Amino acid sequence: MGLYNLRRSLFLVILVSTLFMSLTVTIEPAEHVYAYFHSKLGLEYYALNDAVLGLLLAFGLMLFGALIQLNTARKKELSSISERSALKALLDSLPIAISKLDKKHQLTLTNPRFEKIRHAIGEEAVANTAKTLLETGLTKKNQHSLELKQSYPQLNNTSEILIEWNLCQGDEDSYLMQGRDITQLEESYRQSHIAQQIINNTPVGVMVVNTNQEIEYVNRSFELITGYSTSDVKGQSPSILKSGYHGKDFYKAMNKTLIKEGMWQGEIRNRRKNGDIFLEWLSISSLKDAQGHITHSIGMFSEITAQEHVREKLHTLAYYDSLTSLANRTLFNDRLERLIKNNSKRTLCVVFIDLDDFKRINDSLGHDIGDQLLVTFAKRLQYSIRGSDTVARWGGDEFIIAIEVSESFEGISHFCNKQLQLLKAPFNLNGRELNVTASIGVSIYGEDAQTASDLIRNADIAMYQAKRQGKNRYEVFSSKLHKDISENIEIENRLRLAIRKQQIDVHFQPQVRTNKKHIIGFEALARWTDEELGNVSPQKFITVAENTGLIGDLSALILNKALEQFKPFHDADTNLLLSVNLSASQLQDDDLIPLLKKKISLYGIRPQQVKLEITEDIFISKIEKSIGITSELKKIGFKISLDDFGTGYSSLSYLKDFDIDELKIDRSFVINIEKSERNKAIITAMLVMAEILSIDCIVEGVETEKQLIELKSMGCNLYQGYFFYKPMPCNELELLFEQDLLLGVE
Ligand code: C2E
Ligand code: MG
Ligand code: MG
């Protein structure tokens, strides 16, 4: 029976009893009760009345006490009910699974969370776990609770569920078994552990800064890169890393972007703990809380100092010459374009400088010395120009300068002379003194050149002209010069083709003794009639061939044709001589002797019947080599004639070194011989010298009888000239044969 019902019954009993008592004293039947007590006990009415009243009062008080007690019990019962329901609600709402195991290890109480787990992993799994927990855990002495992590396959799911169990001793051999699904917790722990590992092992430096600008966290890479440990920087401002390299504006702009866009990234130079400055690629991003307020900023950076070095290296490789460290072509072109665009009031000039005979230095002294020369020369050049000018190595021994001068021609001449002067001081290379000259070409921005490429090309042309004019000088580009050079370029191209097609012919000009009747031999002279260019003079195309490296192939072709055509004459008359011209460069070429040997043996020609005409140019360079090759040729049996004598670099002292057979007096001394006493005197001196040296002396370019008479009177007896014969093709020579004019030596 409930407490409420008990209370109601008691109340009814009291009510009925009270009514009964009252009635007993006031109403009729009470009279009988009084009569009874009066007769039996001798009680008076008033005494009986008092006794009844007393009884009633005592009974009432008793009832009242019982009522109060009942009320208190009721209240207690009510509070216990609400506590229990609160406890139940609590149990129901707890995120932990709770169950009670009784003495027999049966589950007597479970909360919904527990049921959920039971539902997920199954009755059997729960029972097994309870068993395991009880067996392993609480059998041990003094053990009141036990924790266990257990993984289960979920019944309605393919995934696993991880539960953390806790068993503790309850009252009277009961146990409380708690379970917590920690699958997600474990996963997020695992993930945060991985994230932590990543952050700690990434080569990227990480720094977390709070809104008070205090560093809260740095990772290992931060420590490695900056040299600061976590304890060094924790609580410090990130400005501890400032290098002083960037101004306030830099940081202002950084903050502005950070606030506006939530992130900033770029290159920044910071300072390590040891004071070294390093370059890093930094990216900063803001971290916001759920309300969108910035709580932290995270800086992540990688050191790119090495990349910067690579970048600088690549830049240097791309724009600078590795040997001299001067600008290279690319950079020069770039700067020249910029100077043109700047359109300064001053005159823009391009100066092309080419060292004279650098190849000779390189070949004879070795490439190391050659390189040293280039480096030293580059330094001299650099010192000689202003900061606003640009000097570059164009390639090989070619250097190029872009300058702006105030008064064009005076300025240019001053500058070029200064450059030539620079070279006056000898170069001291590896303890060896070297005198070097250069040829300079200048082009001026304006009429002849409007673009950078025109300017460079014109300066190159002018330099080329300076070389032709004898080197160690400068030339300023002009349109006329351009025409000549363009012509030479055309000649070169056509000549290359002509050599390949063997279109170069050979004519022969007889040389005579005393008079026309005594032909002693003939000079082979190259002839070229081009389809497009027409007749090109040998002087022109041979010079082009010399300057473009075509001379080797050309000479081989001419020699071949000359010897082939000379062969019948050679066989018919063993005294007849064939004169072949050699260019100065050929006489320094190691291939010359093998070439000559090969050709004469090919046609079966005696070297004694071949006269090699060399010019005085050989005295200008590589004199020792020329002397060596000449004496080699002599040893083989060839005859040597010094052609165009008196026009070149006639150092008479060289004559004693060169074992020559003949001097060939140049035509220029013959032209005015009748009128020029001076020329007569020179020719006389040459004749005397030849006689003293016991060598022949032939005069070339004899055109008139008068000249012949004059020359004869002076003691000449060998001639070559139009007066006797013009150069002619081989078939015409054969006609001479037929006319029996070839008389040979007297
Ligand atoms: P060079 O060796 O002094 O040849 C003589 C030049 O004088 C030839 O000119 C010849 O035609 C010219 N000549 C001869 N007699 C007279 C004359 O009475 N009056 C005039 N006005 N000229 C006369 P060419 O054939 O034009 O050759 C010019 C130069 O070209 C040659 O001068 C020679 O240095 C060079 N040359 C010609 N053929 C060859 C060759 O096969 N190899 C080399 N390396 N040089 C050659
Ligand atoms: Mg000649
Ligand atoms: Mg000559």
592 lines ligand 1 (CB under 6 A): no
Ligand 1 near 665 CB (within 6 A): no
* 523 C-alpha to ligand 1 centroid (Å): 9
Q: What is the DSSP letter of 426?
A: P
> Among 53-62, 458-467, 471-480, which is the least confidently predicted range?
53-62
Q: How many domains does the chain have?
A: 5
Backbone φ and ψ for 541, nearest 5 degrees, come out as: -75, -25
Lowest mean per-residue pLDDT among 74-83, 273-282, 361-370, 733-742: 733-742
Give domain status of residue 19, yes or no. yes
pLDDT tens profile 328-349:
999 999 999 999 998 777 888 9
What residue type is assigned to position 688 of the chain? V
Does a structural domain hold residue 487? no
* Atom 46 of ligand 1: nearest residue by CA position: 581
Q: Which pair of structure tokens corresponds to residue 328?
A: 């290279």
Rounded distance from Cα 613 to ligand 2 centre (Å) = 6
Residues 726 and 657 in one domain: yes
pLDDT tens digits, 428-445: 888 888 889 999 999 988
Answer whether residue 44 shows pLDDT above 80.
Answer: no
Contacts of 534 (CB under 8 A, 6+ apart): none
pLDDT digits (tens, 9 = 90+) for 551-561: 989 999 999 99
Q: What is the pLDDT of residue 463?
A: 93
Please give the C-alpha separations between residue 522 and each of 148, 361, 578, 723, in angstroms, as whole numbers: 120, 38, 5, 14
Q: How confident is the model at residue 206 (pLDDT cuts 50, 70, 90)?
A: very high
Structural domain contains residue 313? no
Q: Which ligand is nearest to the CA of 557?
A: 1
Model pLDDT for residues 636-685, shown as the tens digit of each residue:
999 999 998 887 665 666 777 778 899 999 999 999 898 889 899 999 99
Kindly state the average pLDDT of the residues 452-479.
Answer: 88
pLDDT value of position 141: 56
Within a domain: 491: no
Same domain, 655 and 722: yes
Q: Which residue owns the Cα nearest ligand 1 atom 24?
A: 538
Residue 740 Cα, ligand 1 centroid: separation in angstroms? 26
Ligand 1 centroid–CA 525 distance in Å is: 6
| Ligand 1 touching residue 542 (CB < 6 A) | yes
Say if ligand 1 is within 6 A of residue 189 CB.
no
Q: Are residues 566 and 698 in the same domain?
A: yes
Tell me the average pLDDT across 598-603: 95
Q: Which of 129-143, 192-206, 465-479, 605-619 is the least confident region?
A: 129-143
Domain end (from 477, 512, 542): 477
Asked whether residue 499 carries a pLDDT value surpassing 50, the answer given is yes
Given its phi and psi angles, is residue 514 left (phi above 0), alpha (psi -120 to 50 degrees) or beta?
left
Which residues is 218 bridged to in the sheet? 207
Q: What is the pLDDT of residue 352?
A: 95
Is 351 in contact with 442 (CB distance < 8 Å)?
yes
Which CATH number covers residue 229?
Answer: 3.30.450.20
Question: Ligand 1 within 6 A of 558 CB?
Answer: yes
Average of per-residue pLDDT across 443-458: 88
Q: What is the pLDDT of residues 223-243, one digit of tens each?
A: 999 999 999 999 999 999 999
pLDDT at 516: 59
**Which H or E element spans position 398?**
strand 398-405
Q: Which of 536, 581, 641 to mutate to test the pocket of ligand 1 (most atoms within 8 A of CB)?
A: 581
The domain spanning residue 363 has which CATH number? 3.30.70.270
- Mean pLDDT computed over 40-66: 76
551 located within any domain: yes
Residue 312 confidence (pLDDT): 79
- Separation of 643 CA from ligand 2 center, angstroms? 6
Predicted confidence (pLDDT) at residue 1 exceeds the cutoff of 50: no
The pLDDT of residue 72 is above 90: no
Quick check: CB of 538 below 6 Å from ligand 1?
yes
Residues 327, 398 within the same domain? yes
Q: Would you say residue 497 has pLDDT above 90?
A: yes
Residue 744 has pLDDT above 50, yes or no: no
Confidence of residue 26 (pLDDT cuts 50, 70, 90): low
Q: What local confidence, expressed as pLDDT, does residue 742 receive?
A: 47
Average pLDDT, the chain: 86
Q: Is the pLDDT of residue 140 over 70?
A: no
Instruction: Note whether residue 343 is domain-resident.
Output: yes
Q: Which atom of ligand 1 is nearest to the CA of 537?
A: 26
Ligand 3 geometric centre to CA of 588 (Å): 20
Mean per-residue pLDDT, 141-150: 73
Residue 82 lies in a domain: yes
Gap between the Cα atoms of 47 and 216, Å rounded: 97
Rounded distance between C-alpha atoms, residue 216 and residue 206, angstroms: 11
Q: Which residues contact 257 (CB under 8 A, 6 or more apart)?
A: 263, 264
Q: Which ligand 1 atom is at minimum distance from the Cα of 615?
A: 34
DSSP bridge partners of 207: 218, 299
Going from the Cα of 211 to the center of ligand 2, the distance in angstroms, rounded, reads 95
pLDDT at 20: 59
Q: Are residues 81 and 98 in the same domain?
A: no
- 722: domain CATH number is 3.20.20.450
Residue 204 CA, ligand 2 centroid: distance in Å? 79
Give the residue, by CA position, lying nearest to ligand 1 atom 23: 701
Lowest-pLDDT choice from 35-49, 152-166, 620-634: 35-49
732 & 623 share domain:
yes
Pairwise pLDDT comparison (478 vs 218), residue with the higher score: 218
356 in contact with ligand 1, CB cutoff 6 A: no
Task: Compare 427 and 469 and report the one with higher pLDDT.
Answer: 427
**What's residue 603's pLDDT?**
95
Give me the phi and psi of 343, to 5 degrees please: 50, 55
User: Where is the domain boundary, 308, 336, 361?
Assistant: 308
Q: How far apart are CA 407 and CA 411, in angstroms?
A: 5
Ligand 1 atom nearest 727 alpha carbon: 11
Residues 538 and 616 in one domain: yes
Secondary-structure breakdown of the chain: helix, strand, coil percentages, each rounded to the nearest 5: 50, 25, 25
Q: Give pLDDT, residue 383.
A: 87
Atom 19 in ligand 1: residue holding the nearest Cα: 701
Residue 554 Cβ inside 6 Å of ligand 1? The answer reads: no
- Of 13-17, 64-68, 666-670, highest mean pLDDT: 666-670
Please tell me which residue, 90 or 333, carries the higher pLDDT value.
Answer: 333
Say what the pLDDT of residue 512 is.
94
pLDDT > 90 fraction of the chain, expressed in percent and rounded:
41
Q: What is the pLDDT of residue 746?
A: 36
* Parent domain of 563: 504-738
pLDDT in the model for residue 406 = 75
Residue from 491, 525, 542 whose mutation best tests the ligand 1 pocket (most atoms within 8 A of CB):
525
Domain boundary among 240, 275, 308: 308
Which single residue is written with the structure tokens 């007297």?
746
- Around ion ligand 3, residues with a beta carbon closer than 5 Å are 643-644
Q: From ligand 2's centre to the CA of 580, what distance in Å?
A: 7
For residue 253, report the distance from its CA to the centre of ligand 3, in Å: 80
Q: What is the mean pLDDT of residues 207-211?
A: 94
- Residue 299 shares a structural domain with residue 333: no
Asked if 467 and 527 sit in the same domain, the reply is no
Q: Are residues 468 and 511 in the same domain?
A: no
Does one domain contain both 149 and 238? no
Q: Is a pLDDT exceeding 70 seen at residue 150?
A: yes
Are 667 and 731 within one domain? yes
Give the largest CA-CA distance in the chain.
218
Ligand 3 centroid from CA 576, angstroms: 19
Q: Whose CA is nearest to atom 43 of ligand 1?
A: 581
Ligand whose nearest atom lies closest to the CA of 509: 1
Please indicate whether residue 616, judged by its CB atom, sits closer than 6 Å to ligand 1: no
Check if 581 has its Cβ closer than 6 Å to any atom of ligand 1. yes
Average pLDDT over residues 679-703: 92
Query: 701 CB less than 6 Å from ligand 1?
Result: yes
Measured in angstroms, how far is the CA atom of residue 93 from the centroid of ligand 2? Answer: 122
Q: Does 613 contact ligand 1 (Cβ within 6 A)?
A: yes
> Which residue would you say has higher pLDDT here, 425 or 723?
723
Atom of ligand 1 nearest to the CA of 524: 41
Ligand 3 center to 720 CA (angstroms): 10
For residue 197, tell me if it sits in a domain: no
| Cα dist from 728 to 1, 445, 685, 734, whole Å | 158, 49, 32, 10
